[in-house]
Structure 1
Amino acid sequence: MVVDTAMYTVHTAFAALWAGSVLFVAAAVLPLAIDGELSPEAFGGVVSKLQWVTRISALLSFVTGGHLAGTLYSAETLTGTPSGYLVLTMLALWLGLAALVEIGSAKANRGVAEKKIREPARNARPFYRLAALFAVGLLVVAGLLGSPAPLF
């Protein structure tokens, strides 16, 4: 019971940190970078921090989520119940979010290394916007999983 509570707490905390970080970069930092209102070093620093938050959160989410799925679900309930489908949806969104942040960050870092900011930010924008959509999707799925009974 204590281990499950700790796993759930770590899982939720790092998922919220990750989703919030992606949303902040997509909504607040990226527009400033596209407008040239940030220095390449500042933008590069934010992108680097987002990559680290993504990597650490993805690792911890995988470990804690794997533990929770292993203790709360069987193969039958994971593939045959609404809450099991939500867990699988969360896994797909988690993988997609990690990939989108890494791709967007690689696009941004390419230009930042050359002391450019507007073009790299524009190149990263579609990936960060889609990542923000995936982050919102993860929060919605988490809310559905946390409800007393899934809504469908």
Structure 2
Amino acid sequence: MKKCVSIVVVGMVILCGITAGALPLNFVDTLGEKTPQTSCQLPTNTTNLTIIIKGGIGVTVIFTNTGEFDAIDVTTEIDITNAPFHFYSVGSGAIYYGSLSPGKSYRQRLFDIGIGKITVNVTASADNVAQVTKTAEGTILLFFIILK
């Protein structure tokens, strides 16, 4: 019985060493030459979201996937704050876009009416991408926005 337990333990150690890559495992191909086993590495997630904020008549924000894989379940949010005389805003809040393919962009526009200095806070996130935030400061004069 002790001999069987010893054999099982040694077999488990060898098996674990092979699967962990600590012990080399060679295969023989059909020509009789030994071929070493190579490990397979999974690709790293290089999905990135970039944000561009533009002024003009309202605020235009462009969200672009600059990575190699789809950004899954993209959600964006734009907020304009700090205007001392803030009258009207259309388009703020969170918007869900779904998936965004590599190299593709979403354009979101926010119309605002007010007077004074403003701060534009933009956030984008996806299931497989870390949250990205960008802030721009500027001035609003009625509906025209000038960003620094």
The alignment's TM-score, normalised by the length of structure 1, stands at 0.24
Could you say which structure has the higher strand fraction? Answer: 2
Task: Answer 1 or 2: higher relative contact order, Cα 8 Å, separation at least 6.
Answer: 1
TM-score by length of 2: 0.25
- Specify which structure has the higher proportion of helix: 1
